[in-house]
Structure 1
Amino acid sequence: MSSIHEVSSVSGSAAPYDLLVVGGGINGCGIARDAAGRGAKVLLVEQDDLASHTSSASTKLIHGGLRYLEYYEFRLVREALMERERLLKIAPHIIWPMRFVLPHSKMLRPAWLLRTGLFLYDHLCPNMTLPRTKALNLRSAPAGRSLRSDYVRGFEYSDGWVQDSRLVVLNAMDAVRVGATVKTRTRLVKAVRAAQGWTATIEDTVTGEQSTVEAKAVVNAAGPWVAELLQDRLNVPSRNRVRLVKGSHIVVPRVFEGSQAYIFQNPDKRIVFAIPYEQDFTLIGTTDVPWEQDPAHVEISQDEITYLCESVNRYFTKTVRPEDVVWTYAGVRPLYDDNSGNASAVTRDYVLDVDATSAPILSVFGGKITTFRKLAEHAVEKLAPHLPVLRKAGWTDGTPLPGGEFAPTDFDSQLQRFRAYAPHLSERSSWRLLRNYGLRAYDIATPDSDRMGRMFGKTLSAREVDYLIDNEWARSAEDILWRRSRLGLFVTDADRADLQTYVESRLQASPSSVSDPGPVTRQNVA
């Protein structure tokens, strides 16, 4: 297991950074990775944990956005479908194909319209590797067994699943691999602009300690805080606006059998997904609700829970009730404000706003998790005229994320090898470790059970916890259970409290050894 140490000193005397990235969501981490890999000296700061807001509150899909075709977003869908293919190749451990069943309702969109949309969905992406759409007789197809008898026809098409918060963390890890510095629990207090660069004050949100850094350019990837950051902390006017839309999800005990997911049409023309989740559960979402409150404190409403239950109850034979809900999560999407009257119709495309009237700043408005890599590439290209170090060629489209150094079709054979390496692990635990960490699972598991350490619940070992603290910026039980290991639904309150105590004691015992994940050596990836 690699050790962790301080990557670089952050102080007023340090050499200037080429790029200061504000925001540790998927866009900020993607931009930091791309820029560092081209040779830039990058510092990323995140006021909370990585992926602690919007990027861990998605529907966890890598998809083109079938419904966006209704709004004529052909370029966005095409780009997303092409990115789906790339991401399946560079992160085959945390992203994998999934089939989606779309029942046809006579009361909603006509069958010919669904067929046309799915035909476009299959053909907008050149060199598509996933299985194409096929029509289903829901009375005979296995996927129809969970559906009410009045749904006779349907379609089945392909998209992808993603461990969303892990995608963020892996981008941050790879950014560090190629030379970036990533600091969580670090808030940008303010930044002052001059002709040659920025002077920024940053604050450790745990200790309150402040320090000063200099950067030639700034990337504002603050997500829901993008406008507030520009106005209040950077003093930069912007012609673009962000529109905050809340999306909420519920998780219930498994509603249907099989590995397929479902996409349901609602009378209000919205769609809702029902997706297998962590083997024992079904994930149902999402909603689209305008949000004008603090994006740091967002929760699902009772009306949204009722809406999601009613949405799936129109289709499933098994009734889902609000009292069945075992977990909920909600996040605020910072969408580019295109003046759409309907929250569901607001574009999921992104706008990159570069202000180079003095030292450059690039602000990210909008975006979706599927297109983060392309967004990052575009962002770096927009900054390249102002930062010569960024003029090297792009490199992220074919470079695997940490742990994903195997072919997408090779997962099952990799799982067999891993099970042979650590035979004491159950089949389920082996699958989870390889799905979350890929080949890095060998840094966690040991050939015998004795060296795995104490257990927090049935499957979370001290060795995995140590790995997450040392390599993935985990600083609390919440970081580990909900954004790293995905085991939040499988531990008791007592297990959670024991884990928090363990993490705190580990951090207090050796605070300097966990300050920044390494390694620090820059690798030539251009």
Structure 2
Amino acid sequence: MSVTRIVRSSFEGADEFDLLIIGGGITGAALAHEATSRGLTVALVEKGDFGAATSAATGKLIHGGLRYLKKLEVGLVRESLAERRNLMRIAPNLVSPIPIVLPETGLVEVLGLTAYDVLSFDRNRLSDPSKRIPAHHRLHRSALDELGLDYVSKGILYYDSMMLSPERLTLAFLRTAVAAGAQVANYVRVDRLVLDGQRVTGAEVTDLVSGNPGLIRAKVTVNATGAWAHDLLSATPATQALAGPPPKVRSEGIYLVTRKLSDVMVLTVGKHGHFSFAPWRGHSLVGPTETPYHGPVDEWRLTRAAIEAFLASIAANNTAGVKLTIDDVVAAYGGLRPLTESAEVDTYTASRASELIDHSRQGVTGLVSAMGGKYTSSRAFASRIVTALGRQLGGGVRPSRTAVTPLDGCQLGELPHEVERAKTAVVAGGLAESAGEVLVQLYGSQLPEVLKLMGTDDRLRLPGTPDGEPLATVAWAARNEAVVHLTDALLRRTGIGQLGNPGPDVLDAAADIVAVELGWTAERRNQELELARRAVSLPED
């Protein structure tokens, strides 16, 4: 099969695109795919790495937004539930159902979950039986005990879906866009927007890898920078007025990866937040926090104090009585969420609806801002954006087919059958059987090519994670997925660094592999290794 490579484009201003998308998170990636699939030409730039920052700071759920029913956001819930099904259709290897226990439930929870089931009436209109989502039901004492939830007096079991790797879902959207002609580049900073009178005609940029300046001309520019949306508008004098005052508060969310706590996801809901223990790659993913953040976006970082405060909150508020210490935490990550409305204190109640802001209403044409996007509704949001922009571009935009067309690398049969085939293949290649399930979920229909690469070098068969992901995935990333830094490969292309520090042997081998693939000097290799070592370790301050 042919492999779609994501290659960093250089932008010198020779071409004019229909769309310039600023921001390479899930919103920008889904928009690039939607636009190219409907016949538009697209340039996309991201000042960091694809799928980093806010898009990496996720609990990995694809969900209908059960708690949105409390605010009667029925339309948002219905759209999210429909998109949960659509993502399992177009990315079946990356998105799968997950059972969730809601403990200590009462009438309100029962009514909410009943409405949830009704709103997802078409949830099982999928060809793969493994994607089937049952209706919710009460758990009797024996069922709770079988699940190891003896501390729960009563509970309800319902289902949503979970991503094994949000980063690879973002890449799948990007790869599909690139295959259709999109030009994309990570580590490209937008210095300022370019205007002709009161019309935005593109942006001046700097390639942070080469240091070269560039110019991208476009009929419409889309600000898809999430929590950085205000900063982007403020950087250009002519658009400062569009930005308005800086947001008073943003929402900080962090997650912990700990020893395994349960085989099902257990949700704890309070007045001002919720968190869960979710099984993920042989560990538990615990989170999120919901903490107001008042500082500059670029100055946010995950701190030891924030981790310890979350551990204290877990001990005080979880219904399981789970006691976690810092020694139980193997990894932690977080970021700032983009919200479409600000809140003075309680960011938990702010709407998660997405919003397209057309700045022509403020007197500047050729510029829109895509605000508040999230993984679950990213495809639908992108579809609405392209439909709206199609009118500005003079029509002729094709109808959307992205809800039913598999993403690049996600063209698979029924997942259980694919997993069994993958297990056989990896064992024949000298890997543990567990690696088969992980690899087919991460790479889908690309897996045969990854396995072929693995056979070229004994080092590439070395396991880099407890569940057996081999270092071949690092080499694959360096060859095909626009890796610039070692951290890109370890944290956003593979799971090698997502389960904490894998140890000096694995880190050294990964650094060697990327250095060879990208032609690094010994000095560059050592610098990248030190930066990666810090990135995969818990913060010390």
Settle same-fold status: TM greater than 0.5.
Answer: yes
* Whole-Å separation in 1 of the counterparts to 2:7 and 2:60: 32
Instruction: Indicate yes or no: 2:143 matched with 1:157.
Output: no
- Name the SS for the 1:396 alignment partner: coil
Aligned-pair distance for 1:67? 1.4
State the Cα deviation string for residues 374-430 of structure 1 (Å, max 9, x = none): 1111111121111136622112111111222125xx111011222333423321111
Relative distance call for 1:136 and 1:234 in structure 2 (3 A) is farther
- Name the SS for the 1:467 alignment partner: helix
Relative distance call for 1:305 and 1:82 in structure 2 (3 A) is farther
- Name the SS for the 2:167 alignment partner: helix
Instruction: From 84, 103, 116, give the equivalent of 1:121.
Output: 116
In the alignment, is the contact (CA less than 8 A) between 1:261 and 1:275 conserved in 2?
Answer: yes
- TM-score of the aligned structures, taking structure 2 as reference length: 0.85
Relative distance call for 1:25 and 1:437 in structure 2 (3 A) is same
* Whole-Å separation in 2 of the counterparts to 1:404 and 1:312: 40
Letter in 2 for 1:344: Y
Identical residues among aligned pairs (%): 27
Instruction: From 394, 398, 401, give the equivalent of 1:395.
Output: 401
Q: Determine the structure 2 residue equivalent to 1:180.
A: 182
The alignment's C-alpha RMSD in Å is: 2.6
- Name the SS for the 2:402 alignment partner: coil
183-192 or 355-364: bigger deviation: 355-364
Instruction: From 190, 213, 226, give the equivalent of 1:223.
Output: 226
In the alignment, is the contact (CA less than 8 A) between 1:354 and 1:362 conserved in 2?
Answer: yes
Aligned-pair distance for 1:227? 0.9
* Whole-Å separation in 2 of the counterparts to 1:6 and 1:404: 20
Letter in 1 for 2:233: L
Letter in 1 for 2:503: T
Letter in 2 for 1:445: L
Q: Determine the structure 2 residue equivalent to 1:30.
A: 30
Instruction: From 283, 292, 295, give the equivalent of 1:293.
Output: 295
Equivalent runs, 1:76-155 vs 2, <5 Å:
76-104=76-104, 111-129=106-124, 130-138=133-141, 140-142=143-145, 144-148=147-151, 151-155=152-156
- TM-score of the aligned structures, taking structure 1 as reference length: 0.87
Aligned-pair distance for 1:359? 4.0
Which consecutive residues of structure 1, in runs of 5 or more, have no partner in the other structure?
Answer: 106-110, 511-526
Instruction: From 274, 278, 285, give the equivalent of 1:275.
Output: 278
Letter in 1 for 2:514: V
Instruction: Indicate yes or no: 2:410 matched with 1:404.
Output: yes
Relative distance call for 1:238 and 1:430 in structure 2 (3 A) is same
Instruction: From 321, 325, 328, give the equivalent of 1:321.
Output: 325
Aligned-pair distance for 1:308? 4.5
In the alignment, is the contact (CA less than 8 A) between 2:234 and 2:243 conserved in 1?
Answer: no
In the alignment, is the contact (CA less than 8 A) between 1:46 and 1:186 conserved in 2?
Answer: yes
Instruction: From 251, 254, 257, give the equivalent of 2:257.
Output: 251
In the alignment, is the contact (CA less than 8 A) between 2:250 and 2:294 conserved in 1?
Answer: yes
Instruction: From 488, 494, 499, give the equivalent of 1:479.
Output: 488
* Whole-Å separation in 1 of the counterparts to 2:355 and 2:485: 34
In the alignment, is the contact (CA less than 8 A) between 2:311 and 2:324 conserved in 1?
Answer: no
Q: Determine the structure 1 residue equivalent to 2:351.
A: 347
Q: Determine the structure 2 residue equivalent to 1:200.
A: 203
Number of residue equivalences: 496
Equivalent runs, 1:457-496 vs 2, <5 Å:
457-458=463-464, 459=468, 461=470, 463-488=472-497, 489=499, 491-496=502-507
Letter in 1 for 2:481: E
Aligned-pair distance for 1:48? 1.0
Instruction: From 503, 508, 521, give the equivalent of 2:519.
Output: 508
- Name the SS for the 2:277 alignment partner: strand
Aligned-pair distance for 1:443? 1.2
Q: Determine the structure 2 residue equivalent to 1:521.
A: none
Aligned-pair distance for 1:302? 2.8
Instruction: Indicate yes or no: 2:80 matched with 1:63.
Output: no
In the alignment, is the contact (CA less than 8 A) between 2:6 and 2:480 conserved in 1?
Answer: no
Relative distance call for 1:7 and 1:224 in structure 2 (3 A) is closer
Aligned-pair distance for 1:145? 2.2
Relative distance call for 1:133 and 1:460 in structure 2 (3 A) is closer
Q: Determine the structure 2 residue equivalent to 1:48.
A: 48
Letter in 1 for 2:435: S
In the alignment, is the contact (CA less than 8 A) between 2:6 and 2:178 conserved in 1?
Answer: no
Equivalent runs, 1:298-313 vs 2, <5 Å:
298-300=301-303, 302=305, 305-308=308-311, 310-311=313-314
* Whole-Å separation in 2 of the counterparts to 1:470 and 1:447: 10
* Whole-Å separation in 2 of the counterparts to 1:448 and 1:508: 20
Q: Determine the structure 2 residue equivalent to 1:380.
A: 386
Aligned-pair distance for 1:484? 1.8
In the alignment, is the contact (CA less than 8 A) between 2:138 and 2:156 conserved in 1?
Answer: yes
In the alignment, is the contact (CA less than 8 A) between 1:272 and 1:308 conserved in 2?
Answer: no
302-311 or 484-493: bigger deviation: 302-311
Relative contact order higher in (CA < 8 Å, ≥ 6 apart): 1
Aligned-pair distance for 1:88? 0.9
* Whole-Å separation in 2 of the counterparts to 1:93 and 1:448: 20
Relative distance call for 1:300 and 1:372 in structure 2 (3 A) is farther
Instruction: From 373, 376, 384, give the equivalent of 1:370.
Output: 376
